[in-house]
Amino acid sequence: KETKSFIEKITELEALYGQKETAKKLGVSPSTLRNYKTGKTAPKKDKAQKVNRVYGQNKKKITPEKVERYKKNTETKKENRRKQIRNNPRLQSVQSWVNKEFTEDYIKRNILAEAPPFIAPIDGRGQFTDGASPLGIPKGTKFVILYGLYTSDYNQGEGEGKQDYLSSRFPITLRKQMNVGEALDYLEGKFFQTSQQSGKRRLNPTRFIGYELA
């Protein structure tokens, strides 16, 4: 009896639902799902069990034709990404950018665990991109994901708290196309208007890093 590997199961679910919807069904982020497939991170036991469960519930809907078509489309996107990297000297790996920008290991780990694989630095800031997304924001975009550092505040602003790397889903409908520079200026302003509450902690925005199309 044929036994599918963990990565094959994820790939076949993506062929059926797409990466973002598959990640949602599995209760992880798309970047975490990518890390599973590349072996960058290993799923915990409960997540691996959920993959098996979701796959078992849907495997009858998956056809070899859908899987083959998905693999071809994925390879096309990878090639587009390689071309984009060759044609855009500002584009570099997130790991390279993060190592130059940050010193705290926990911040580096959090960014590298969640961010897409490439970043386009502009004036010390960056825009996260998987290479298939446009470098900017198209007209009519519904959601973007903002990435940045938030400082924990336990004492109503007294003293300096620990910084946390977080992402925030941000609703937006643009009436015009924005290039990457315009997008960074606009979304940086929006980022500093955000704050997050986590139990007794208030998380105040301290450094905008970039964005990704949701």
pLDDT in tens, 131-187: 556 678 888 888 888 888 888 765 444 445 577 777 777 777 778 888 888 888 888
Distance from C-alpha of 122 to C-alpha of 74, rounded to nearest angstrom: 28
Please state, in angstroms and rounded to a whole number, the distance separating the CA atoms of residues 204 and 31.
Answer: 24
- DSSP summary character for residue 2: -
pLDDT surpassing 60 at residue 2 = no
Q: pTM value?
A: 0.61
Band (pLDDT 50/70/90 cuts) for residue 68 is very high
Q: Which residue has the higher pLDDT, 132 or 69?
A: 69
pLDDT higher than 60, residue 59: yes
Average pLDDT, the chain: 81
Q: Check residues 166 and 57 and name the one with the higher pLDDT.
A: 57
CB atoms within 10 A of CB 21: 13
pLDDT in tens, 8-45: 999 999 999 988 889 889 888 777 888 788 777 788 88
Residue 114: pLDDT above 50? yes
Write down the pLDDT at residue 57.
93
| Per-residue confidence band for 86, with pLDDT thresholds at 50, 70 and 90 | confident
Task: Report the sign of the C-alpha dihedral through residues 144, 150, 155, 157, in that order.
Answer: negative
Q: Of 66 and 141, which is predicted with more confidence?
A: 66
Report pLDDT for 34.
80
DSSP conformation letters of 9-49: HHHHHHHHH-HHHHHHHHTS-HHHHHHHHHTSS---HHHHH
pLDDT of 133: 65
* pLDDT at residue number 1: 47
**More reliable by pLDDT, 152 or 94:** 94
